[in-house]
């Protein structure tokens, strides 16, 4: 049963798709092309030859008499035949043009058509094949050739896919996705060899659907024709094998679709540009409108920028997306003759909306009240800077006077909140009289703070400009890439575009899409052109590298040597942490999960509660973590929870209500969102403070007193607690297992201090066992190694005998305080002795200090140079 679409009460179907009809169609097309070409060529040759012969026969110098034209001659006969053939050629071309059909234009509000099954297509059904662009016909033809060559019974989506692959758009798609034909050739031919053999009859149902949906896409995209690209895309969607094949090459269906979108956007921009150029030719630049009713506006010109003129000269970017917002602005202006205020965070594209409106004004595709007008952007800082209030007011009044006399100006005001309290009433009074409109922009925060309840709030109608979602942001960035590529002379792969949006969205929370992604793209392009020269390819890895250097978070793909490092993370961490196997393992696993990108995006990277007595390595492990994951020990925000013992300290945490400022803690995280957050001695904090952390652990964010959302999704949160220390020590000495200790701690000891739901929020509650004397020896060695390293810088060697190490360890061991006393012992016995020796001048470069039992120090003299 055939299928089709119903558009404006007409049925659109794919007719005559059997092999014979296709052949007829192609033969007909070829004959038409041949006749056109030959007749044009023949007429040109005949006319030129006739004219040349005529001139030759009548002499070059003299103007022929009228009579010469009436003298029968071969030259003039040739000429006449040429003219006749020219008439024929003209008719032939005109008929081709006259019979060109375009896909009907879609009503913006109509719902996308659904495929309907038809018993028999109605007599007046329209054949969609006539809307196919020559490149699509060529692809269709190639599909038939392919099926015929393999002896297949039907043309299937895969044939159409291969057929369309010869098209330029497909090559661009492959290039941008970083794929090569070579890699998919073999699986593709294996797939082709499994198709049903037989006499080629025509398209099977799936392939027919591909054509119909390609038509539907072109209709929804407002295209005139169905291009090979649409066929390519629909064929891809129709055959699951192709999705599998591309997935194996690292391209999923969403990426494929976004890439198709990119090519569509590119074509759309080209169309838009051509149309715009045509329109721009007749749009006046400068103060005067076409009807010459406006007046010169010298004062306004001094403090403003004419956006319509900028658009005419191509100084403004082409706009993609945001049609919805522009439509809303037009409705506001048309409906109530009011001014519009675009409200959105910085970087979401309010300026682009203004540029888009300016471009539409150039094309005069605007409501009548905006026709033959210019959009003038007033610079508020220029207006007010360096002069007393009275002068600024005077300037504004003169400017507004010029605007009303000129009558062809629409005002644009970026960042309306900059207008001071002295100037705002002037503007609102002026606009309320209805002399002209203004389109202004502001941020949501400024809107609520300064504009909403002021005079201006009543004059302006709010139009929200939201941050685009990931897909729209990718589309917007795709529309900008052409410009960046041209400017920087590099080539972006799709992966790079996607990563610009995804990674900036994930790691740069203080800025907004699409601006932050566009900035990253520019930066990466700059970097690539520096390192690889012109025409270098920008890949996703390049983007990841830039993000990694900006944030300190390793976001690049895991390289081979790093793989080994990650798999042996425990060993490396044990280089700094002695014992505490369970803790090290838990932390290392969390890091591996984070690095393999398996963590949920809406919570902190990891969160742990470290339990154990002082000096057992809790803080040391946190430091190690900061160094391993964020690249430096300094990437740690340390918060002493004993400073948050009552509810009033909430102000210090997230800021005092009404102060419009963040707290010490929230500000620290806001400015350094990529760090280990170490909450020391958690048990000392007030219960209400812990409730705030409950939310942070759960949602990965908290709102400060200034209304800013502080992002914790890129932090690792570690809380340490001494609660239950006595129990742990007793239990360990009784020889209880770690699991048993933990269970008892959670069920008994900690219940009085933390609520169970709070403890549950941590990824892991880890018990640090008290240190044993043998471990203290190891730690002593570590500390001595640190001293050795410090002395190496001075060119002095340092050795400690094993006996002395044991003695130091013994002196520094205290089951209650772990390794903490040891640090003091090393300081007193080792560091002090060395310091004295250095000051007394006993030690020179190249000497080696040897420390023996009882702190006896001897110096081995180094060789003289």
Partner 1 sequence: MKSSSSSLVLKHLLLDLVREILFLPVWWFTIGLAQMVLWCGHSVKHAAETTGLTIWAKNLFVPMYGETSVSGKLISFFVRLIMVIARGVATFVWMFVVVGVFIAYLLLLPLAILGIFYHGLGMVFV
| Minimum separation from the CB atom of position 96 to partner 1 (A) | 11
Cα 185 to chain centroid, rounded: 32
Instruction: Please identify, using beta-carbon distances, which residue of 176 and 283 lies nearer to partner 1.
Output: 283
Phi, psi of 538 (to 5 degrees): -90, 120
The region of 69-77, 464-472, 596-604, 824-832 touching partner 1 under the rule CB under 8 A is 69-77
814 binds partner 1 (CB under 8 A): no
- Near partner 1 in 463-492, by CB under 8 A: none
The region of 66-74, 173-181, 687-695, 792-800 touching partner 1 under the rule CB under 8 A is 66-74
Distance CA 63, CA 292 (A): 49
Sorted by sequence, the CB contacts under 8 Å of residue 152 that are 6+ apart come out as 159, 192, 195, 196, 197, 198, 200
Distance CA 797, CA 851 (A): 11
29 binds partner 1 (CB under 8 A): yes
Instruction: Please identify, using beta-carbon distances, which residue of 23 and 65 lies nearer to partner 1.
Output: 23
Instruction: Please identify, using beta-carbon distances, which residue of 202 and 536 lies nearer to partner 1.
Output: 202
Reduce the DSSP state of residue 536 to 3 states and report it: strand
- Near partner 1 in 282-321, by CB under 8 A: 282, 290-296
- Near partner 1 in 518-577, by CB under 8 A: none
Sorted by sequence, the CB contacts under 8 Å of residue 261 that are 6+ apart come out as 474, 475, 478
**Binder among 8, 16, 31, 733 for partner 1 (CB under 8 A):** 31
98 binds partner 1 (CB under 8 A): yes
Distance CA 735, CA 68 (A): 128
- Near partner 1 in 665-704, by CB under 8 A: none
Contact in structure between 494 and 246 (CB atoms under 8 Å): no
Reduce the DSSP state of residue 805 to 3 states and report it: helix
Instruction: Please identify, using beta-carbon distances, which residue of 376 and 528 lies nearer to partner 1.
Output: 376
760 binds partner 1 (CB under 8 A): no
The region of 17-25, 186-194, 440-448, 822-830 touching partner 1 under the rule CB under 8 A is 17-25
Contact in structure between 741 and 728 (CB atoms under 8 Å): yes
| Minimum separation from the CB atom of position 94 to partner 1 (A) | 6
Contact in structure between 786 and 815 (CB atoms under 8 Å): no
Instruction: Please identify, using beta-carbon distances, which residue of 282 and 774 lies nearer to partner 1.
Output: 282
Contact in structure between 511 and 550 (CB atoms under 8 Å): no
**Binder among 42, 145, 435, 566 for partner 1 (CB under 8 A):** 145
3-class SS letters over 702-738 = EECCCCCEEECCCCEEEEEECCCHHHHHHHHHHCCCH
The region of 9-17, 19-27, 120-128, 600-608 touching partner 1 under the rule CB under 8 A is 19-27
24 binds partner 1 (CB under 8 A): yes
| Minimum separation from the CB atom of position 191 to partner 1 (A) | 22
32 binds partner 1 (CB under 8 A): yes
455 binds partner 1 (CB under 8 A): no
740 binds partner 1 (CB under 8 A): no
N residues, the chain? 865
DSSP 134-148: HHHHHHHHHHHHHHH
3-class SS letters over 363-381 = HCCCCHHHCCCEEEEECHH
| Minimum separation from the CB atom of position 274 to partner 1 (A) | 17
66 binds partner 1 (CB under 8 A): no
Contact in structure between 649 and 783 (CB atoms under 8 Å): no
- Near partner 1 in 224-283, by CB under 8 A: 282
Q: Total binding residues for partner 1 by CB under 8 A?
A: 48
Reduce the DSSP state of residue 852 to 3 states and report it: strand
Instruction: Please identify, using beta-carbon distances, which residue of 91 and 803 lies nearer to partner 1.
Output: 91
832-852 b/e with 16+ CB inside 10 Å = b? eebeebeeeeebeeebebebe
Contact in structure between 627 and 573 (CB atoms under 8 Å): no
Contact in structure between 564 and 557 (CB atoms under 8 Å): no
| Minimum separation from the CB atom of position 142 to partner 1 (A) | 8
Distance CA 742, CA 744 (A): 5
Up-side HSE of residue 645: CA atoms within 13 Å toward CB? Answer: 4
Cα 770 to chain centroid, rounded: 48
22 binds partner 1 (CB under 8 A): yes
| Minimum separation from the CB atom of position 290 to partner 1 (A) | 5
Q: Across the strands, what pairs with 117?
A: 3
- Near partner 1 in 125-144, by CB under 8 A: 141, 144
Sorted by sequence, the CB contacts under 8 Å of residue 853 that are 6+ apart come out as 801, 803, 804, 807
Distance CA 414, CA 343 (A): 11
Instruction: Please identify, using beta-carbon distances, which residue of 50 and 818 lies nearer to partner 1.
Output: 50
Instruction: Please identify, using beta-carbon distances, which residue of 38 and 564 lies nearer to partner 1.
Output: 38
- Near partner 1 in 362-421, by CB under 8 A: 372, 405-407
**Binder among 6, 10, 18, 34 for partner 1 (CB under 8 A):** 34
Instruction: Please identify, using beta-carbon distances, which residue of 69 and 273 lies nearer to partner 1.
Output: 69
153 binds partner 1 (CB under 8 A): no
Q: Please tell me the chain's helix, strand, coil percentages from 3-state DSSP, rounded to the nearest 5.
A: 60, 10, 30
Instruction: Please identify, using beta-carbon distances, which residue of 54 and 512 lies nearer to partner 1.
Output: 54
**Binder among 72, 336, 386, 793 for partner 1 (CB under 8 A):** 72
- Near partner 1 in 74-93, by CB under 8 A: 74, 76-77, 79-81, 83-84, 86-88, 90-92
The region of 94-102, 335-343, 507-515, 775-783 touching partner 1 under the rule CB under 8 A is 94-102
Evaluated on CA atoms 433, 436, 437, 438, the torsion sign reads negative
Instruction: Please identify, using beta-carbon distances, which residue of 80 and 189 lies nearer to partner 1.
Output: 80
Sorted by sequence, the CB contacts under 8 Å of residue 199 that are 6+ apart come out as 153
Tokens 């022929």 — which residue?
Answer: 64
**Binder among 23, 597, 747, 828 for partner 1 (CB under 8 A):** 23
Instruction: Please identify, using beta-carbon distances, which residue of 237 and 407 lies nearer to partner 1.
Output: 407
Report the interface residues with partner 1, using CB under 8 A. Answer: 22-24, 26-32, 34-35, 71-74, 76-77, 79-81, 83-84, 86-88, 90-92, 94-95, 98, 141, 144-145, 148, 282, 290-296, 372, 405-407
């Amino acid at each position: 049963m055939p299928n089709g679409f119903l558009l404006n009460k007409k049925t659109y179907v794919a007719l005559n798709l059997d092999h014979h009809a296709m052949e007829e169609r192609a033969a007909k097309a070829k004959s038409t092309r041949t006749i056109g070409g030959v007749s044009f060529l023949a007429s040109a040759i005949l006319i030129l030859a006739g004219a040349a012969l005529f001139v030759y026969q009548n002499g070059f110098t003299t103007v022929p008499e009228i009579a010469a034209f009436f003298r029968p001659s071969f030259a003039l006969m040739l000429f006449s035949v040429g003219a006749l053939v020219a008439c024929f050629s003209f008719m032939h071309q005109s008929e081709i043009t006259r019979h060109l059909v375009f896909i009907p234009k879609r009503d913006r509000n109509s719902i996308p058509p659904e495929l309907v099954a038809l018993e028999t297509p109605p007599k007046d059904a329209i054949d969609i094949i006539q809307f196919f662009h020559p490149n699509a016909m060529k692809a269709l033809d190639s599909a038939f050739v392919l099926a015929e060559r393999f002896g297949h019974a039907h043309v299937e989506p895969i044939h159409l896919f291969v057929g369309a692959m010869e098209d330029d758009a497909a090559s661009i798609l492959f290039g941008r996705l970083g794929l090569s034909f070579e890699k998919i050739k073999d699986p593709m031919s294996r797939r082709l060899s499994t198709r049903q053999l037989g006499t080629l009859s025509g398209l099977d149902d799936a392939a027919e659907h591909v054509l119909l949906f390609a038509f539907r896409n072109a209709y929804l995209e407002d295209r005139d024709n169905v291009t090979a690209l649409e066929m390519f895309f629909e064929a891809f969607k129709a055959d699951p094998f192709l999705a599998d094949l591309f997935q194996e090459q690292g391209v999923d269906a969403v990426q494929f679709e976004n890439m198709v979108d990119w090519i569509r956007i590119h074509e759309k921009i080209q169309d838009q540009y051509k149309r715009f150029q045509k329109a721009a030719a007749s749009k006046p630049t400068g103060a005067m409108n076409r009807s010459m009713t406006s007046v010169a506006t010298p004062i306004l010109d001094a403090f403003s920028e004419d956006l319509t003129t900028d658009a005419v000269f191509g100084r403004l970017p082409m706009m993609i997306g945001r049609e919805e917002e522009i439509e809303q602005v037009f409705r506001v202006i048309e409906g109530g003759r009011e001014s519009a205020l675009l409200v959105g965070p910085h970087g979401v594209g309010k300026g682009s909306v203004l540029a888009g409106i300016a471009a539409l004004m150039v094309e005069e595709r605007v409501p009548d009240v905006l026709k033959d007008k210019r959009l003038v952007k007033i610079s508020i800082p220029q207006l007010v800077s360096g002069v007393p209030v009275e002068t600024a007011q005077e300037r504004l009044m003169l400017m507004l006077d010029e605007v009303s006399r000129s009558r062809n100006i629409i005002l644009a005001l970026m960042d309306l909140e900059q207008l001071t309290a002295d100037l705002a009433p002037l503007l609102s009074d002026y606009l309320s009289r209805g002399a002209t409109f203004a389109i202004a922009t502001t941020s949501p925060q400024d809107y609520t703070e300064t504009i909403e309840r002021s005079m201006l709030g009543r004059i302006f109608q709010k139009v929200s400009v939201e941050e685009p979602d990931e897909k729209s942001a990718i589309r917007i960035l795709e529309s900008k890439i052409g410009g960046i590529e041209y400017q920087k002379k590099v080539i972006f792969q799709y992966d790079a575009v996607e990563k610009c949006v995804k990674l900036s969205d994930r790691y740069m929370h203080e800025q907004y899409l699409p601006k932050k992604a566009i900035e990253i793209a520019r930066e990466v392009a700059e970097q690539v052109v520096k390192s690889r020269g012109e025409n270098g390819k920008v890949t996703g890895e390049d983007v990841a590298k830039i993000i990694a250097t900006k944030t300190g978070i390793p976001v690049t793909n895991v390289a081979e040597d790093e793989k080994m490092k990650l798999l042996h993370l425990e060993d490396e961490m044990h280089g700094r942490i002695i014992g505490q196997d369970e803790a090290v393992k838990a932390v290392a696993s969390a890091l591996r999960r984070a690095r393999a990108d398996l963590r949920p995006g809406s919570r902190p990277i990891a969160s742990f509660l470290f339990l154990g007595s002082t000096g057992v390595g809790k803080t040391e492990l946190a430091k190690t973590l900061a160094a391993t994951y964020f690249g430096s020990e300094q990437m740690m925000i340390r918060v002493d929870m004993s400073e948050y013992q009552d509810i009033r300290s909430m102000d210090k945490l997230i800021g005092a209500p009404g102060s419009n400022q963040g707290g010490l803690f929230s500000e620290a995280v806001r400015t350094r969102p990529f760090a280990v957050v170490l909450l020391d001695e958690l048990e000392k904090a007030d219960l209400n403070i812990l409730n705030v952390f409950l939310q942070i652990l759960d949602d990965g964010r908290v709102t400060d007193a200034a209304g800013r959302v502080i992002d914790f999704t890129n932090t690792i949160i570690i809380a340490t607690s001494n609660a239950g220390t006595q129990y742990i020590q007793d239990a360990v000495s009784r020889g209880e297992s770690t699991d048993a200790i933990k269970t008892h701690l959670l069920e008994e000891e900690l219940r009085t201090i933390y609520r169970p739901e709070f403890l549950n929020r941590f990824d892991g509650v880890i018990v640090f066992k008290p240190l044993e004397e043998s471990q203290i020896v190891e730690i002593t060695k570590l500390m001595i190694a640190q001293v050795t390293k410090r002395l190496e810088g001075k060119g002095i060697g340092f050795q400690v005998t094993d006996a002395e190490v044991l003695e130091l360890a013994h002196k520094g061991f205290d089951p209650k305080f772990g390794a903490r006393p040891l640090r003091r012992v090393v300081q007193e016995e080792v560091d002090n002795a060395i310091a004295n020796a250095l000051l007394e001048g006993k030690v020179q470069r190249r000497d080696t200090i040897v420390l023996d039992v009882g702190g006896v120090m001897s110096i081995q003299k180094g060789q003289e140079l």
